[in-house]
């Protein structure tokens, strides 16, 4: 891998599909409160879009837009965001992950702020999951040698 076939049709379809998929993924993450979905599902779809890009184009293509260091950073950043929101609640004087307390710093009432907190962590989960999926796939399919596009 990666570049199984260098097919213009596939690349063209990809060029159109990937933004749509990514947009849908963001929708899924953000709209988890009202419909099925959430950080994890959205993150998976986002990650799948990158994988699709990698299959359709080349590993270099993805790496240029999405450098490995950045990706690794994102892996840790998403979950760090999650844990940090929890810790923020703790610092503000409530229990860990008790988003209700966030009303001290956010302009909303304690119940609404819980939904905001939920959104925050969903975003964190989404970031992590998409980055993780990409990272695992990259490592698996190239056996850790990111440069060579061998099959």
Partner 1 sequence: MEIIIGKYNYWIYIALMMIGFYAMIAKRNLVKKIVGMNIFQTAIILYFISTAYKKNATIPILIKSQEVIDVTQYVNPLPHVLMLTAIVVMVSTFGVALAVIVMLYKKYKTLEEDEIIEILREKK
Partner 2 sequence: MNLSEHSSILIVVVPLIASFLNVFIGLWRRSLCYPLFLLALVICGFLSIDLIQNIINNGTIRYKLGGWMPPWGIEYVVDHLNAYVILIVSFISLLVAIYSKRSLEKELEESKLPYFYSTYLLLVTGLLGITVTGDIFNLFVFLEIASLAGYALIAIGENRSVLASFNYIIMGTIGACFYLLGVGYIYIITGSLNMLDIAQLLPKLYESKVTLAAFAFLVVGVAIKIALFPLHRWLPDAYTYAPSAVSVLASATMTKVGIYVLIRISFTIFEPNFSKDIIPAGTILVWWSTIAIIFGSILALGQIDFKRTLSYILIAEVGYMVLGVNLGNKEGFIGAVLHILNDALMIACLFMVTGGIYYYLKSRNIEDFVGLNKKMPLSMASFSIVALSMIGIPPTAGFFSKWYLIIGAIKAEQWIAVIALLFSSLVNAIIFFRILEKIYFKKGNSTKDINVKEVPVSMLIPILILATSVILVGLFSGKIISSIIQFTVPGGF
Partner 3 sequence: MIWIVDILLLTIVVICAIGAIYVKDLLSSAILLGAYSFLMCLLWTEMGAVDVAFTEAAVGAGISTAFFIGAIYQTTRRTKD
By CB under 8 A, name the binding residues for partner 1: 34-36, 40, 136, 139-140, 143
Interacting stretch for partner 3, rule CB under 8 A, among 11-19, 42-50, 60-68, 85-93? Answer: 42-50
**Looking at beta carbons only, is 17 or 44 nearer to partner 1?**
44
Tell me the closest approach of the beta carbon of residue 73 to partner 1, in angstroms. 19
Any residues with CB less than 8 A from the CB of 82 and at least 6 apart, and which? 121, 124, 125, 128
**Looking at beta carbons only, is 6 or 150 nearer to partner 1?**
150
Tell me the closest approach of the beta carbon of residue 10 to partner 3, in angstroms. 15
Q: Which has the closest alpha carbon to 73: 146, 127, 23?
A: 127
Our finding on whether 37 is near partner 3 (CB under 8 A) is yes
Output the CA torsion sign for 94, 97, 99, 105: positive
Q: Which has the closest alpha carbon to 78: 25, 24, 139, 129?
A: 129
Q: Which does 9 bind (CB under 5 to 8 A by kind): partner 1, partner 2, partner 3, none?
A: none
**Looking at beta carbons only, is 62 or 132 nearer to partner 1?**
132
Report CA Rg, the chain. Answer: 18
How far apart, in whole angstroms, are the C-alpha atoms of residue 143 and residue 76? 21
Q: Which of 5, 8, 105, 151 binds partner 3 (CB under 8 A)?
A: 151
């Amino acid at each position: 891998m990666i570049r199984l076939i260098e097919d213009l049709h596939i690349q063209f379809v990809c060029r159109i599909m990937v933004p749509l998929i990514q947009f849908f993924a963001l929708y899924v993450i953000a709209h988890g409160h009202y419909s099925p979905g959430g950080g994890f599902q959205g993150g998976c779809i986002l990650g799948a879009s990158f994988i699709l890009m990698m299959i359709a184009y080349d590993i270099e293509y993805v790496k240029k837009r999405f450098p490995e260091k950045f990706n690794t950073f994102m892996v840790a950043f998403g979950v760090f965001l999650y844990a940090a929101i929890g810790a923020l609640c703790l610092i503000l004087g409530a229990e860990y992950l008790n988003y209700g307390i966030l009303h001290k710093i956010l302009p909303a009432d304690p119940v609404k702020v819980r939904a905001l907190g939920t959104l925050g962590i969903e975003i964190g989960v989404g970031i992590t999951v998409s980055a993780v999926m990409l990272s695992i796939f990259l490592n698996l399919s190239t056996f850790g040698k990111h440069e060579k596009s061998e099959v």
